[in-house]
Amino acid sequence: MTKKFSLTPYLFLTPALVAIAIFVVYPIFAVFYYSFTDYSIVTPPVWIGLKNYSWLIHDTIFWRSLAHSFVYLLVTPILIVLSIILAIVVNRKLPGIQAFRALFFIPVISGSIAVGIAWRLMLDTNGIINAILLSLGILKEPMQWLAEPALTLPFCMALTIWLGVGYYMMIFLAGLQNIPEELYDAAMLDGCNSWQKHWHVSIPGLRPQITFVAVISSLAALQVFNEVFTLTGSLGGILQSGYTVVFYLWQQAFRLSHAGKASAIAMALLVITLAFSITNIRLLERGTETD
């Protein structure tokens, strides 16, 4: 049977490929080019060779932002542990359990901006958090929560965790419900109690979900922006304590009009996320193999 040449596959692909070519492929080349220029967007780019990169290497603020972004990765294990525990807890047919599940999902649906604003109001020097702690006697004086450099990143991370738990809990919940009952019964027969049962059956059974969440969450953690912006505004925290790589990129490009430097940062971001992205792809591909 001769294979007829058909336009069909190409036609199917065209809309998506055109969009990707314009909005993903072109930008990578453009950013690569801009990273070798001095460009303020209002005036045309001026070629300056490797100057942006040498600036980047010597820029303590960039390295600090990078360190912060890596520290931010801590949210991933915390999120996974908390979400799994919550999923296990809500994975039972108790009256009202649906309500609890929905409740935990509300932060996800409200959006990081709305929640971030609410948190910022609560953490004000005169806000409700201080008021509660003062009236309980835990604090003698109101603490300026968002003015403590050591607390800025932890608060952003707490916000991320708070926002993500409901989302990942749902994923693990579905995973748990896919684990066959027989495995649990077998574990019970072997003499496992409640916790051992979960350790030996649930966790291994959730492996695909865990890997999926780990990769998604890590990629997101490396590229955090919203949480920093809502909690600290354009200051980025006292002593740049809230600076992440994407925040620094945004500041350089859209506050200081240094698109060239920002492009160099963007290239660095590409390298940083590379390892995680490749893992992500491998996982997606492995999913195909098991089908």
Which residue among 6, 49, 93, 181 contacts other proteins (CB under 8 A)? 6
At position 114, the amino acid (one-letter code) is A
Does an H or E element contain 216, and which? helix 207-222
Task: Using the minimum distance from each CB to other proteins, give the nearer residue, 49 or 92.
Answer: 92
**Residue 261 C-beta: closest distance to other proteins, Å:** 10
**Residue 248 C-beta: closest distance to other proteins, Å:** 10
State how far the Cα of 231 lies from the Cα of 162, in Å rounded to an integer.
14
CB atoms within 10 A of CB 283: 15
**Residue 245 C-beta: closest distance to other proteins, Å:** 8
CB atoms within 10 A of CB 23: 9
- Number of residues in the chain: 291
Task: Using the minimum distance from each CB to other proteins, give the nearer residue, 77 or 233.
Answer: 233
**Residue 49 C-beta: closest distance to other proteins, Å:** 17
Identify the three-state secondary structure at position 8.
helix
**Residue 185 C-beta: closest distance to other proteins, Å:** 16
Task: Using the minimum distance from each CB to other proteins, give the nearer residue, 66 or 170.
Answer: 170
**Residue 186 C-beta: closest distance to other proteins, Å:** 18
Which residue among 149, 185, 190, 204 contacts other proteins (CB under 8 A)? 149
Contact call for residue 77 and other proteins (CB under 8 A): no
Kindly identify the residues of this chain, within the stretch 13-52, that bind other proteins according to CB under 8 A. Answer: 13, 15-17, 19-20, 22-28, 30-31, 34, 41-42
Which residue among 62, 72, 155, 212 contacts other proteins (CB under 8 A)? 212
| Chain center to CA of 100 | 24
Task: Using the minimum distance from each CB to other proteins, give the nearer residue, 56 or 166.
Answer: 166
Does an H or E element contain 47, and which? strand 46-47
CB atoms within 10 A of CB 121: 12
Task: Using the minimum distance from each CB to other proteins, give the nearer residue, 187 or 258.
Answer: 258
How far, in Å, are 23, 27, 133, 269 from residue 14 at the CA level?
14, 19, 59, 29
CB atoms within 10 A of CB 35: 23
Kindly identify the residues of this chain, within the stretch 88-127, that bind other proteins according to CB under 8 A. Answer: 89-90, 92, 94, 98, 100-115, 117-122, 124-127
State how far the Cα of 227 lies from the Cα of 225, in Å rounded to an integer.
6
Q: Which stretches of 21-92 are DSSP H helices? A: 26-34, 51-58, 60-72, 75-90
- Return all residues near 79 (Cβ < 8 A) that are at least 6 apart: 160, 161, 164, 165, 168, 213, 217
Which residue among 67, 73, 192, 257 contacts other proteins (CB under 8 A)? 257
Task: Using the minimum distance from each CB to other proteins, give the nearer residue, 2 or 135.
Answer: 135
Which residue among 173, 221, 228, 264 contacts other proteins (CB under 8 A)? 173
Task: Using the minimum distance from each CB to other proteins, give the nearer residue, 3 or 182.
Answer: 3
Which residue among 156, 157, 171, 221 contacts other proteins (CB under 8 A)? 171
Identify the three-state secondary structure at position 46.
strand
**Residue 289 C-beta: closest distance to other proteins, Å:** 10
